[in-house]
Structure 1
Amino acid sequence: MTQHSVIVYTSDQCSHCEKVLAKLSEWNIEYKEKNISQDKSYFKELQSQKIYGTPATFINDEKVLGFQERKLKRTLGIQDAGRFQDTDTIHFS
C-alpha cells in the first residue's frame, strides 16, 4: 500500500474524531493527531486553512472534513466493499 502523510485535527469529546482515529487504526494507517483543545497552535493552523471544526483529516494534500468513511477510503486508496464497487454489473433491456 502507498505511504500517505496523514494528519488528523481533533478536539476533546468529539465522537466523530474518535471514529476517524478508530478507522485509521483499523486500516493500519499511520497518522499524526493534533488536538486543538490541548494545543491552541493547532487551532491556529486549522484557522489558516479556513477550517473551524473537527475532525479535519489531511491526507497528502487532500482534506476530508468530518467523518466520511467512503471519502477517507477513496483518498487512501482502500478498496471499498460497499455497493458501488467496480465489479457491479448493470443490465439494461
Structure 2
Amino acid sequence: MLNKNVVIYTNESQDSVKLKNILNEWDIDYEERNISENNDYLIELQKKGIFATPATFIDNYCIQGVQPDHLKTELNIN
C-alpha cells in the first residue's frame, strides 16, 4: 500500500500515544524508536537536530509533534 519509510521517535507521553493511535487507525506501518527505552535513539534523534518527541520521519522528512493534516499530506492520505 504505502511505499514510504515511516519512523517515529517517541517517549511515554500522551502525544506519543496519540500519534501511534492515529497511524494505527490509518493502517500505516512504522518503526517506533522509544527514546525512554533506548538512549541510543535519543542520541540519534539529537544528531538530526530534533530535541522533542514525538517526531515522525517519512522518507527522512520530519514532522514534529502530532499534526494529522500534515501527516495526511506527506503520507498521501485523502
TM-score of the alignment, normalized to the shorter chain, above 0.5: yes
Q: Aligned partners of 1:6 and 1:66: how far apart in 2? A: 15
Give the whole-Å Cα distance in 2 for the aligned partners of 1:20 and 1:38.
Answer: 18
- 2:55 aligns to what? 56
C-alpha contact (below 8 Å) 2:2/2:28 kept by paired residues? no
Higher alpha-carbon Rg: 1
Structure 1 runs (4+) deviating above 3 angstroms are none
Shift of 1:3: 1.6
Local SS of the residue matching 1:57: strand
Matched residues, number: 78
Q: Tell me the TM-score normalised to structure 1 length.
A: 0.80
TM-score normalized with structure 2 length:
0.95
Larger relative CO (CA 8 A, sep 6+): 1 or 2? 2
Q: Give me the CA root mean square deviation.
A: 0.8
Same amino acid, percent of matched pairs: 40
CA distance in 2 between counterparts of 1:2 and 1:73 reads 12
Long gaps (5+) in structure 1: 80-93
